[in-house]
Structure 1
Amino acid sequence: MPPAAPRPNPLEDLRYWWDSSVAWVNHHWLQIGIAVGAGLVIYFLLSLLRTFALKRAQSAPGQFTLTDIVGRVIHKTKSTVLAIVAIRLVAGYANPPAIILATIQFVFTIAVVLQAAIWAREIVIGLIQRRAAEGHNETLTNAMGIIRLLISVALFAIAGIVILDNMGVNVTGLVAGLGIGGIAIGLAAQGIFSDLFASLSIIFDRPFRVGQAIKYDNSSGTVERIGLKSTHIRSINGELLVISNTNLLSKEITNYAHLHRRRVTFLLNIVYQTSPEMLRALPGLLEEQVKAAGHEFIRSSLVTFSASSLDFELLFDVFSEDFDQVTAARTDIAIRIVEALGEAGYEFAYPTQTTFTAAPDGTMIMPYAESPKPKTAPARTAKPG
């Protein structure tokens, strides 16, 4: 049976490290002094650069601009990180022992990774706040607390994994465990996270905003509030529709806010007794009324022969985003058409039906009594003379 390996003695390791450090200082004191001086100069230059960049960024006008975000990132740069970077840059010149160099490298890795996580957090949060400020989105502003927490947890979890990987720890199992845990949490809160990400999609993609009129599925109304889980829409009839963000994005949405023009359609029913000349002149007459009102005429034509009328279609555009103005324009055009057609001798048709009856032998029978024929005086015969 082989003898058991001797257990390491921490005191002996500490004594060995101390003796190596003392020997290193005694033999390389000049290089150490030069490295310390160079490190101080580097730290001073990095601090001066940070101060200069921070002043330039803070002096720029506006809030939540790209310059403001850069200034916030620079402001979050720690002086400790600058000192560790300076030490790492000059450490190789002093020829330190392997254990000291490894310690410096380890501390440098931790500092840089954590600082990178802080920078990334400030950049992402700054961009989100900038987006919220552009759209004046109260929902996103109120949700910044939970968004900041989620971003911080995600970034620092990644930073922790990177640090452990540089320490030589096998992080494969840890990553797999975090992945399984994330899947479990996602399945448990699937509805909440689905609505949350749908809300962020609405906020950033902006298919509509608060105060805009939209049509969702078979409902129409004005958006009153965009929440983290649901959106409130005030319908045309006055009801408040509360729709989950996931369901809202799963259907086609029509936004009426950016209609620079609105198309209006009229269907005119003209009687069959109208002459062909008048039918040919009708599209031109309708075009005159539309242009006289200051709107854009699209077309007018006979579209079908209905049971009781000849149907003409009129299409024109009203250049306005205000639906009230469009409604007023439609009313004005309708009244103009009624006046013009009445003056030109046109008649509007209304549903009528004529019934014809026949006798059993097929002889047509009038649906009303025939007018009596006028009586004629009997002819007088001449008397023989």
Structure 2
Amino acid sequence: MTFSILAAAKTAAPKTAPRPATDPLADLRYWWDASVAWINSHWLQIGIAIGAGLAIYFILSMIRRFALKRAQSAPGEFTLTDIVGRVIHKTKSVVLAIVAIRAVAGYAQPPAVIMQLIQTIFTIAVVLQVAIWVREIILGLIQRRASDGHNETLVNAMGIIRLLISVALFAIATIVILDNMGVNVTGLVAGLGIGGIAIGLAAQGIFSDLFAALSIIFDRPFRNGETIKWDTTTATVERVGLKSTRLRSINGELLIVSNTNLLSKEISNFAHLHRRRITFAIGVIYQTTPAMLRDLPALLEEQVKASGHEFIRSSFVTFGPSSLDFELLFDVYSEDYQVVTAARTDVAIRLFEAMAAAGYEFAYPTQTTFTSAPDGTMIMPYPESPEPKARTAKAAKPA
């Protein structure tokens, strides 16, 4: 930081003797002499820089304290304000001090070796602090997206997620620091890339199930306690784990399905259904008159509306093998499956009573057998009674 008011107070650093390059003791003596000469010739600038640095550190500390207090006083958990508070809380006082020193170091005109040392420490501190900030932001956004800080799976996964994010960020931070120090990091980057690929291939199944678990947490296709249909299985979700999900089937069995396999097939979630559609297939006998067939859809609609549910449609479907088939569809507006089953039973009984009172007969599978003679003519499937023949012969006798 440059202070224009005191620019006139600056003086050139005194020239020192050429640095010996062989003896370590001579090197130490050289740096000592250079530092003493710098302090003697720039004591005013050094004092002003120290005061300005303390002022900067105090201001930065006050800003951090004020911002942290405002963030912590905001209501809600895992909100954007809460995430900002966590980031501010992770700001180290040592980093603020190093920033203040770096801000005023140029004004004091230190020797090149001291300036280089300050610059190196400043780079390391800032890069590591930025890595910590980014980690807290990512973790906060993950928990915010999950919208349930007490999710058991998320709590179990956060340790692994924090480890993976920390390793990735601090590896990048190390590369940045080494690159700023003039180290050739090409080989290091290549080695990390190859190592990451090897680890990924070796733990492919584990990472696949882990990311599937995170997908379930963030996308929320279902939650604990909800009933779902997976493939051909209807079950209730008991717990979502890092590797597998536990389902309790309607028959009572405990199903343990890997998260990757679970998400690879279609899932039907029966929770939060505001309405459920019920379908009835109704078959009447072929002896039903055409007039009764025309009246049947209206009768079905009347009974559905009388039960208080929403009628969708009722129509003739097809000529069945043993029946004339009709279809009835109606909706029940309830999330409680017990209410839905009770409504289905009520409508079915109403339909049975109304159709029986109107003279309709329900069809059931029947079969008729016809017998033919060797010449192909139809004959009775049973022998005729001999009684009619006896009457005919008696009637033919003369009186």
Calculate the TM-score normalised by the size of structure 2: 0.88
1:59 has 2:100 as partner: no
Q: Report whether the alignment pairs 1:323 with 2:373.
A: no
Match of 1:173 in 2: 187
Q: 5+ unaligned residues in a row in structure 1: which ranges? A: 1-5
Rounded to whole Å, the distance in 2 between the matches of 1:165 and 1:289 is: 80
- What's the secondary structure of 1:221's corresponding residue? strand
Aligned positions of 1:1-150 closer than 5 A: 8-131=22-145, 134=148, 136-150=150-164
RMSD value, Cα: 2.2
Please name the residue that 1:152 is paired with: 166
1:165-208 CA-to-partner distances (Å, cap 9, x unmatched) read: 11111111111111211222222222222211211111111111
Among 243, 246, 256, which residue is 2:257 paired with?
A: 243
SS at match of 1:273: coil
1:207 and 2:221 are equivalent in the alignment: yes
Q: Map of 1:225-240 to 2, 5 A cutoff?
A: 225-240=239-254
Q: In structure 2, the residue corresponding to 1:254 is in which secondary structure?
A: strand
2:212 to 191, 198, 208: 198
Tell me how far 1:135 sits from its aligned partner: 6.5
User: Percent of pairs identical after alignment?
Assistant: 79
Deviations 1:256-314 (A, max 9, x none): 11322111111111111111111111111111111111111111111111111100011
1:279 — aligned with what?
293
Matches of 2:237 and 2:77, distance apart in 1: 27
Q: How many aligned positions are there?
A: 376
C-alpha distance in 2, partners of 1:380/1:188?
111
The whole-number CA distance in structure 2 between the counterparts of 1:135 and 1:240 is: 27
Residues 30 and 312 from structure 1, CA distance in 2 versus in 1: closer, same or farther, beyond 3 angstroms?
same
Partner Cα distance (2:150, 2:115) in 1: 52
SS of residue in 2 equivalent to 1:228: coil
Residues 1:144 and 1:308: Cα distance change in structure 2 (over 3 Å): same
Moved more, 256-265 or 142-151: 142-151
Q: SS of 2:347's equivalent?
A: helix
Contact 2:372 2:379 survives alignment (8 Å): yes
After superposition, the Cα gap between the structure-2 partners of 1:362 and 1:133, relative to the gap in structure 1 and judged at 3 Å, is closer
TM-score by length of 1: 0.91
- Offset, 1:377: 5.5
Contact 2:143 2:149 in 1 (8 A): no
SS in 2 for 1:303: strand
Cα pair 1:222 1:234 within 8 Å, conserved: yes
Alpha-carbon distance, 1:362 to partner: 3.1
Following the alignment from structure 2 to structure 1, what is the Cα–Cα distance between the partners of residues 295 and 150? Answer: 54
Distance in 1 (CA, whole Å) between partners of 2:228 and 2:316 is 33
Counterpart of 1:291 in structure 2 is 305
- Amino acid paired to 1:330: R
Partner of 1:188: 202
What residue in structure 1 maps to residue 279 of structure 2?
A: 265
Cα distance in 1, alignment partners of residues 204 and 230 from structure 2 = 23
Letter in 2 for 1:50: R
Quote the offset at 1:129 in angstroms. Answer: 3.7
Q: Using a 3 Å threshold, how does the CA distance of structure 1 residues 245 and 139 change in structure 2: closer, same or farther?
A: same
Given that 1:221 and 1:235 are in contact with CA atoms closer than 8 Å, whether structure 2 keeps it comes out as yes
Alignment of 1:305-324 (within 5 A): 305-324=319-338
CA deviation string 1:219-263 (max 9, x = no partner)? 110000111111000001110000111111111111111322111
**Whole-angstrom CA distance in 2 between matches of 1:264 and 1:136:** 37
* Matching residue of 1:3: none
* Counterpart check, 1:344 vs 2:358: yes
CA distance in 2, matches of 1:87, 1:329: 77
Contact kept, 8 Å, 1:129 with 1:141, in 2: the verdict is: no
Which of residues 380, 386, 391 is equivalent to 1:366?
380
2:6 maps to: none
Contact 1:211 1:224 in 2 (8 A): yes
8 Å CA contact retained: 2:156, 2:242: no
Could you tell me how far apart the structure 2 residues matched to 1:9 and 1:18 are?
Answer: 14
Q: Distance in 1 between matches of 2:249 and 2:311?
A: 32
